[in-house]
């Protein structure tokens, strides 16, 4: 599943290309979206902004209308110049939204809906989200409080709950736990407030470091994620995806285990973090 940095990158790219421009074409395979377009044509609107909220992408239109999409495991947004050949098959297209200069194409998107701007605050999925790790108004105290409420479950499972922390995914879960030398399997109640605060800060800092805007105005893509600070592509991450390889700090063998109801893979160093 795309993590918060992936959605942030998509939103930043879409915003840069589309914001302030009028919609000239809209298509969708979702009947509910098509019905809204027929009743309130998007081609009479401009795109005001595109933002990421946790793992949700929100596209705001001038008619006080918002398109919410969620990528789930395989969805993605691409941006193309008008007439440019798509890099994905047309059968995978779920949403097409074009301006005079660009086409935004949502491929294999599973969740998409229009929401009235006035209803965003009480939207079921959005209102349940915990503090957004990449949000401008991130509330660290609230994040720790929500983690503390998950007292009996393993910390790795708690970190993935979007109602606790919005935007954190499996890669940064493993990397933040390693950075703080905390076992993924210890129950939340066994950790101090200082440890929970350190974890929250580690997750936030890792995400922020991987969406920092470059001098070209672009943010790095998911393939260049780095948590080690090292430039070599083979040394980008501390533990994630490195099962059976030596720990970069102590040399012990990195282990991997399925964890939680969704059997997400957790990577950790049994020496640096305990087993």
All structural domains of the chain with their residue ranges: 4-127, 140-268
Q: Is 152 exposed, middle or buried (0-12, 13-18, 19+ CB in 10 A)?
A: exposed
CB distance 196 to 187 below 8 Å: no
The model's pLDDT over 186-206, given as tens digits with 9 standing for 90+, comes to 999 999 999 999 999 999 999
140-268 fold: Helicase, Ruva Protein; domain 3 (1.10.8)
The model's pLDDT over 98-107, given as tens digits with 9 standing for 90+, comes to 999 999 999 9
Kindly state the DSSP code that residue 188 receives in the 8-state scheme. G
Q: Distance between CA atoms of 269 and 275, rounded to whole angstroms? A: 8
Of residues 151 and 222, the one with the higher pLDDT is 151
In 7-118 the beta strands, taken as DSSP E runs, fall at 25-28, 47-53, 56-61, 65-70, 76-81, 93-98, 102-107, 111-116
- Length of the chain in terms of residues written: 275
Which residues partner with 80 through β-bridges? 103
Report the catalytic residues.
2-3, 55
Q: Which of 60-64, 166-170, 178-182, 213-217 has the lowest mean pLDDT?
A: 213-217
Provide the CA 197 distance to its chain's centre, in angstroms.
21
CB distance 171 to 158 below 8 Å: no
Give residue 9's pLDDT: 86
Give residue 139's pLDDT: 94
What is the average pLDDT value for the chain, to the nearest integer? 91
Paired tokens of 40: 């309130």
Mean pLDDT within 143-154: 96
Location of structure tokens 């991987």: 210
pLDDT band at 275; cut points 50, 70, 90: low
Give residue 217's pLDDT: 39
pLDDT band at 8; cut points 50, 70, 90: confident
Give residue 72's pLDDT: 80
Q: Distance between CA atoms of 230 and 234, rounded to whole angstroms? A: 9
Edge-to-edge strand ranges of the sheet holding 65-70: 47-53, 56-61, 65-70, 111-116
Q: Distance between CA atoms of 222 and 237, rounded to whole angstroms? A: 12
Mean pLDDT within 125-138: 91
pLDDT band at 2; cut points 50, 70, 90: low
Q: Which of 141-145, 158-162, 210-214, 236-240 has the lowest mean pLDDT?
A: 210-214
Give residue 133's pLDDT: 92
Which residues partner with 116 through β-bridges? 65
The model's pLDDT over 19-55, given as tens digits with 9 standing for 90+, comes to 999 999 999 999 999 999 999 999 999 999 999 998 8
Of residues 180 and 219, the one with the higher pLDDT is 180
Which residues partner with 205 through β-bridges? none
User: Which CATH superfamily includes the segment(s) 4-127?
Assistant: MutM-like, N-terminal (3.20.190.10)
Give residue 223's pLDDT: 55
Start-end of H helices in the chain: 4-18, 31-39, 124-127, 140-148, 155-160, 170-179, 193-209
Q: Which of 123, 89, 93 is nearest to 25 (CA)?
A: 93
Q: Please say if the pLDDT value at position 216 is more than 70.
A: no
Of residues 236 and 113, the one with the higher pLDDT is 113
| Predicted TM-score of the model (pTM) | 0.85
Give residue 261's pLDDT: 81
């Amino acid at each position: 599943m795309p993590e918060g940095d992936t959605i942030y990158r998509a939103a930043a790219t879409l915003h840069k290309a589309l914001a302030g421009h009028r919609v000239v074409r809209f298509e969708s395979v979702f009947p509910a979206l098509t019905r809204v377009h027929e009743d309130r044509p998007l081609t009479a609107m401009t795109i005001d902004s595109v933002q990421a909220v946790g793992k949700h992408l929100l596209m705001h239109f001038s008619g006080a209308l918002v398109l919410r999409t969620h990528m789930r495991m395989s969805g993605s947004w691409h941006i193309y110049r008008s007439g440019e050949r798509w890099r994905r098959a047309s059968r995978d297209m779920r949403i097409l939204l074009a301006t005079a200069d660009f086409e935004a194409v949502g491929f294999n998107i599973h969740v998409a809906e229009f929401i009235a701007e006035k209803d965003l605050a009480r939207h079921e999925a959005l209102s349940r989200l915990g503090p957004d790790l990449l949000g401008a108004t991130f509330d660290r105290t609230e994040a720790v409080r929500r983690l503390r409420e998950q007292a009996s479950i393993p910390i790795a499972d708690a970190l993935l709950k979007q109602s606790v922390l919005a935007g954190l995914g499996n890669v940064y879960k493993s990397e933040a736990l390693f950075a703080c030398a905390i076992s993924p399997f210890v129950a939340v109640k066994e950790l101090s407030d200082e440890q929970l605060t350190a974890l929250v800060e580690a997750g936030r800092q890792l995400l922020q470091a991987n969406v920092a805007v470059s001098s070209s105005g672009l943010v790095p893509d998911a393939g260049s994620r780095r948590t080690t600070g090292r430039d070599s592509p083979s040394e980008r991450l501390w533990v994630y995806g490195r099962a059976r390889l030596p720990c970069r700090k102590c040399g012990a063998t990195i282990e991997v285990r399925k964890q939680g109801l969704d059997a997400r893979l957790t990577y950790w160093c049994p020496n640096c973090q305990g087993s």
